[in-house]
Structure 1
Amino acid sequence: MGRGKIEIRRIENSTNRQVTYSKRRTGILKKAKELTVLCDAEVSLIMFSTTGKLTEYISPNTTMKLFFDKYRKTSEYDIWQPHYEQMQMNLKKLKDINAKLRRQIGQRIGEDLEDLNIAELRGLEQQIDSSLRIVSQRKYSLIHTQTETSKKKIKQLEEMNTNLLHEYEERIEEAYAFSNHEAMSEVFAFRLQPTQHHLGAYGLHDLRLG
């Protein structure tokens, strides 16, 4: 029993559509390679899936650019010209925007004011005033932030200095108390030894007198 004829229409199921594309893509690539070998034909193939994935084939010993150049000469249609013209238009727009921005920047520093009327000059003045206010607000905000940071650092240094001074005073007191204790011990020992010596001496003198 032969295969039934498949109706050529879009496959609604995305999974089935992708599977069918993968299978038929392989078949088309195979046919393109067979044409190149069997018929000595120059074949170029470009395909994009619904996900944007590129599949391409070009006959050996040639390049895509050479192939398109040959197509352009044969068909007398320059496929690059529309793209080139579009690029030129985009470049002109960018140049116009750049020139306009440069002129606006120059006007903000007092240049190219001759062609401006009263309304345009007033608008420019308002823009400059508004910009000046924003810059001033940013400046004062930055000064305030730096001042607060400096205050915090000074406070931390003062606390460190107070702690170090307190620690220094405690060590001085401990050293003073220790030195007084040592001095008292030495004085007591010094006083005790001469007294015993003198007593012994007086004792011997008394014995000699007797």
Structure 2
Amino acid sequence: MGGRKFEIKRIENDTNRQVTYSKRRGGIMKKAWELNVLCDAQVSLIVFSSTGKFHEYVSPSTTTKKIFDRYQQTAGVNLWQSHYEKMQERLNKLKQINNNLRKEIRQRTGEHDLDDLSIEELRDLEQNMDNSLKIVRDQKYHRIQTQTDTHKKKLRNSEEANRNLLYQFEGRDEDLGYGLVDHEGHHESELREANAGSHSFAFHLHPIQPNLQEGRIYGFHDLRLP
């Protein structure tokens, strides 16, 4: 009994279609390999799935390009002519775009290509340049404002740090005792630490002497460590 026949048509179910593709792709790849080995034939097989996946089998002794070149020579056709023409057309369009851009640059700099412009074209060029200048000026002002704000922020941070240091020193001074004593008719300031258990330091400061000779007479008390 023969196998069950079924109609050859597109499989609508995605899963069944993918399973069938994988099985039959493997089968045709095997047939291509058998044809190459058994008959010493040069085979190039290219398969694209519906999802765009690419599969290829080429005889080990050749390449797909060599087979295409041999096919062109045998059949008398040029497989690359249409592709070359499309590439050439694309290249010409890019050259035209490049020439137009270069011409626009020369017009904006006022160097060349202004004599052939009409009044309307010159007016449009002027308007475009004014718009460009406004954009550049706005960007410049924005950059200046940003840098100014940054410097102001850094300055505020520095001032805040200075105030904190000042508060710390003032808090430390509040822990120290101050006293004014009168010694031999001269006003002197004596600074003592509040903590009696620590070493004490005394500084005696005389008023500014009227001259160098009097300074030698009065003299200055040295720093004393008890």
Identity of aligned residues (%): 59
Whole-angstrom distance in 2 between the partners of 1:71 and 1:14 = 36
SS in 1 for 2:178: helix
Which residue matches 1:21?
21
1:171-200: CA deviations, max 9, x gaps? 3454553964469x99xxxxxxxxxxxxxx
Whole-angstrom distance in 2 between the partners of 1:96 and 1:129 = 26
Which residue matches 1:41?
41
1:77-122: CA deviations, max 9, x gaps? 0101111111111111111111111111221111221221111110
SS in 1 for 2:51: coil
Comparing 139-148 and 72-81, the one that deviates more = 139-148
Q: Please state how far the C-alpha of 1:5 moved relative to its aligned partner.
A: 1.2
Q: Please state how far the C-alpha of 1:66 moved relative to its aligned partner.
A: 0.8
Taking the TM superposition and a 5 Å limit, the aligned residue runs for 1:117-136 are 117-136=118-137
Q: Is the Cα contact below 8 Å between 2:42 and 2:59 reproduced in 1?
A: yes
1:29-72: CA deviations, max 9, x gaps? 11111211222221111110001111111112111111110000
Kindly indicate which of the two structures has a greater share of residues assigned to helix. 1
Structure 1 residue 101 and structure 2 residue 106: aligned? Answer: no
Query: RMSD over aligned Cα, in angstroms?
Result: 2.2
Aligned length: 185
Q: Is the Cα contact below 8 Å between 2:36 and 2:59 reproduced in 1?
A: yes
Kindly indicate which of the two structures has a greater share of residues assigned to strand. 2
Whole-angstrom distance in 2 between the partners of 1:170 and 1:47 = 85
Comparing 115-124 and 98-107, the one that deviates more = 98-107
Q: Which runs of 5+ in 2 are unaligned?
A: 180-189, 201-226
Q: Which runs of 5+ in 1 are unaligned?
A: 187-210
Whole-angstrom distance in 1 between the partners of 2:193 and 2:53 = 94
Q: Please state how far the C-alpha of 1:18 moved relative to its aligned partner.
A: 1.0
Given the two structures, how large is their TM-score scaled by the length of structure 1? Answer: 0.80
Whole-angstrom distance in 2 between the partners of 1:81 and 1:182 = 101
Whole-angstrom distance in 1 between the partners of 2:114 and 2:48 = 54
Q: Please state how far the C-alpha of 1:163 moved relative to its aligned partner.
A: 2.3
SS in 1 for 2:55: strand
SS in 1 for 2:38: helix
Whole-angstrom distance in 2 between the partners of 1:61 and 1:38 = 14
Whole-angstrom distance in 2 between the partners of 1:64 and 1:149 = 63
Structure 1 residue 75 and structure 2 residue 75: aligned? Answer: yes
Structure 1 residue 12 and structure 2 residue 22: aligned? Answer: no
Q: Tell which structure's C-alpha radius of gyration is larger.
A: 1
